Amino acid sequence: LCNKDRHWRVCGECVESVRRVCGECTVRRVCAECTQGVWRVYCAQGVWRVCAGCVESVRRVCGECTVRRVCGECTVRRVCGECVQGVWRVYGARALRSLPNMSVSRLARGCSRLFLLELEARAEPLCFILSCERSASTRADAEAVRRAFGSARLFSLLVDGGGRVQRARSHAELMKALHAQLPPECIFSPLTSFLPGVKDSLIRGFLLRDESTSSSTERLLSDFRQSHSVSVFSYEREQDGDGQFWWCQEMFRSPATEPESGQSQRFYVKPTTAPEHHPAMLNMINSDVFYRLEDAYQVLQECKNVIPESMAVLEIVDQQLEACKQNEGFPVIVLEGLDATGKTTLTESLQKALAATLLKSPPQCLAPYRQHFDSEPPLIRRAFYALGNYITAAQIQRESSQRPVIVDRYWHSTAAYAIATAVSGPVEKLPALGSEIYEWPSDLLRPNLVLLLTVSPQERLRRLQHRGLGQTEEETQLEVNHLFRQKVDEAYKRIQNPACVVVDASPSPDQVLQQVLHLIRIKCHL
């Protein structure tokens, strides 16, 4: 990956194989930072396109990987981190249909791929690679796999087919179907596969641990494979001469319909060190957090055939938007914080005290669509909230030429909730402070001041109960929820340019108001 402008690169050894590309594509030397004989391929579609005449040029991949002839309509993209051992992914319905199962299985695995299995929110995840051999393994390694896999029958599913909208929806549908249809003795946990350090390489899925003896799980997996563009694998336990157990993975075969062919390749599960930060951050840009209007807009455009409401939302965006980057009128003050920290109470008092306009993100004009988009997978839900911010920005631009503007939630909320949801596990797994993930979008109007209201968890709970909304579904999962709130809070604090000013919102409403008015006077000269 070229650090400068995020293009795939190939090392010197691969140069021959990317030179012979079709007329549409060009190969150029990459930026000064990546000079060591490195070349990259540009294509009109922004993917590696190889026409039928160029097939030869993609055949020369590592021993483990094969690329069969692809038709002229199909695209091929390198997905392996170290290009020497490249795995090529083939896109295009015709190509996928023409490839036998064995090749499709390779799409979901690769020599440099890591797998992260998250069994419980607080437990250390199991990180493993797939190896052709039973390479040396410590007792601790073997014990880590045994603890995670147990003695149940094991299967994994990875959602790796179709475009990003289809993948996002397939993943959500798959999760619902697993919840609803698996036998009670079968539990499933999130499993992700990724290439360390390679952006957009994350593939999401699940690991199933099945204690049942019935064949219903297998039937279900066969159906999922047909209906959800997922690759399915099964795992078996082997014991070596020293009494040590080894788990090996192979392509799932339905015993009822697919006879044993003896051709399926087996890979051994080998634990490895988990990355310091959660791999979700590899896919975060333009999947969870959007940094340009056009990127969020593009997602809803891709949804128009499956979500008719997308077109209505995009029409509102078109109507409302004006070019707005910097605010040069009256001050714009944003209030952020977890639910029930007192944002609504304070924004209303500030509106009166400053004779200001009060705005919200998402704006009122999107209210009829919010519930619908809240039920969509993160890619689509987050694009909806991102577009809401741009509409609010246009409203801020108009209003701030007349009077101060107070905004109830804005980009900090969109980013902090998205990041905290995408990163499972503890706060330490969040992208590090200073990561590009926390950078304000360059084309979104910047407020003059962002105030983050904080109260203790007990006080927040008291306010929630006092408000009469009772126990939300989230509140019932207190343990998981506590972790989630910690991560939202921390993500809020890591966002830069503008960073939040933290306000202790535990005193009485009037005391909080006076404290905030004082801050506004100092910071915004009001």
Interface residues with ligand LCLUPRNS (CB under 6 A) are 339, 361-362, 385, 388-389, 409-410, 413-414, 417
Decide whether 263 or 371 has the Cβ nearer to ligand LCLUPRNS: 371
Per CB under 6 A, 337 contacts ligand ATP? yes
Bridge partners, 86 (sequence order): none
For residue 481, the minimal CB distance to ligand LCLUPRNS (Å) is: 13
* 418 membership: H or E segment, kind and range: helix 411-422
Phi, psi angles (nearest 5°) of residue 484: -60, -45
CA atoms of 53 and 112, how far apart (whole Å): 29
**With respect to ligand LCLUPRNS, which residue has the nearer C-beta, 231 or 361?**
361
- The token pair that represents 124 in the structure block: 């250390």
341 binding partner (options ligand ATP, ligand LCLUPRNS, none; Cβ < 5 to 8 Å by kind): ligand ATP
Q: 159 touches which of ligand LCLUPRNS, ligand ATP, none (CB within 5 to 8 A by kind)?
A: none
| Residue 252 or 411 with smaller CB distance to ligand LCLUPRNS | 411
DSSP letter assigned to residue 24: T
Tokens found for residue 144: 């880590």
Alpha-carbon span 1 to 77, nearest angstrom: 13
Between 16 and 474, whose beta carbon lies closer to ligand ATP? 474
Question: What distances in angstroms separate CA 411 from CA 151, 408, 423, 496, 497, one per listed residue?
Answer: 46, 10, 18, 11, 11
Which entry of ligand ATP, ligand LCLUPRNS, none binds 397, CB below 5 to 8 A by partner kind?
Answer: none
In angstroms, give the least distance from the CB of 358 to ligand ATP: 12
Residue from 68, 467, 482, 518 that binds ligand ATP (CB under 6 A)? 467
Please report whether residue 343 would count as binding ligand ATP according to CB under 6 A. yes
Q: Which is nearer to ligand LCLUPRNS, 83 or 418 (CB)?
A: 418
Q: Is 463 in the site for ligand ATP (CB under 6 A)?
A: yes
Shortest reach from residue 344's CB to ligand ATP, in Å: 3
Rank residues 167 and 343 by Cβ distance to ligand ATP and give the closer one: 343
Tell me: does residue 205 bind ligand ATP (CB under 6 A).
no
Our finding on whether 342 is near ligand ATP (CB under 6 A) is: yes
Q: DSSP label at 365?
A: G
What does DSSP assign to residue 424?
-
Least gap, CB of 133 to ligand ATP (angstroms): 54
Stretch that binds ligand ATP, among 81-89, 295-303, 475-483, 502-510 (CB under 6 A): 502-510
When the beta carbons of 331 and 337 are compared against ligand ATP, the nearer one is: 337
Q: Which of ligand ATP, ligand LCLUPRNS, none interacts with 466 (beta carbon under 5 to 8 A by kind)?
A: ligand ATP
How many CB atoms neighbour CB 89 within 10 A? 18
Q: Counting contacts by CB under 6 A, is residue 488 touching ligand ATP?
A: no
CA separation for the pair 203, 452 (Å, rounded): 34
368 binds ligand ATP (CB under 6 A): no
Residue 150 to residue 237: CA distance in whole angstroms: 10
Rounded to a whole number of angstroms, the minimum distance from the CB of residue 399 to ligand LCLUPRNS is: 17
CB-based contact 492:440 (threshold 8 Å): no
**Euclidean distance between CA atoms 486 and 336, whole angstroms:** 15
List Cβ neighbours of 32 (8 Å cut-off, separation of 6 or more): none
| Nearest-angstrom CA–CA distance, 417 and 384 | 14
Q: Which is nearer to ligand LCLUPRNS, 310 or 341 (CB)?
A: 341
Q: How far apart are CA 247 and CA 234, in angstroms?
A: 10
- Closer to ligand ATP by Cβ: residue 127 or 340: 340
Q: Binding ligand ATP by CB under 6 A: which of 124, 185, 250, 339?
A: 339
| Nearest Cα residue to 171 out of 119, 220, 230, 121 | 230
Chain centroid to CA 508: how far? 39
Strands (E), 36-160: 39-42, 75-78, 88-91, 114-117, 126-131, 153-159
Contacts of 82 (CB under 8 A, 6+ apart): 11, 112
Instruction: Pick between residue 17 and residue 392 the one whose CB is nearest to ligand LCLUPRNS.
Output: 392
512 contact choice in ligand ATP, ligand LCLUPRNS, none (CB below 5 to 8 Å, kind-dependent): ligand ATP
From the list ligand ATP, ligand LCLUPRNS, none, partner contacted by residue 515 (C-beta under 5 to 8 A by kind): none
Which residue matches tokens 């340009």?
292
Parallel, antiparallel or unpaired: strands 230-239 and 245-251 = antiparallel
Beta strands in 11-134 (DSSP E): 26-29, 39-42, 75-78, 88-91, 114-117, 126-131
Contact call for residue 412 and ligand ATP (CB under 6 A): no
Binding characters for ligand ATP, 279-318, by CB under 6 A (x = yes): ----------------------------------------
Which letter does DSSP use for residue 244 in this model? Answer: -
Q: Which one, 39 or 417, has the nearer CB to ligand LCLUPRNS?
A: 417
Output the smallest distance, CB 385 to ligand LCLUPRNS, in A.
4
Q: Which positions lie near ligand ATP, rule CB under 6 A?
A: 337, 339-345, 463, 466-467, 505, 508-509, 512
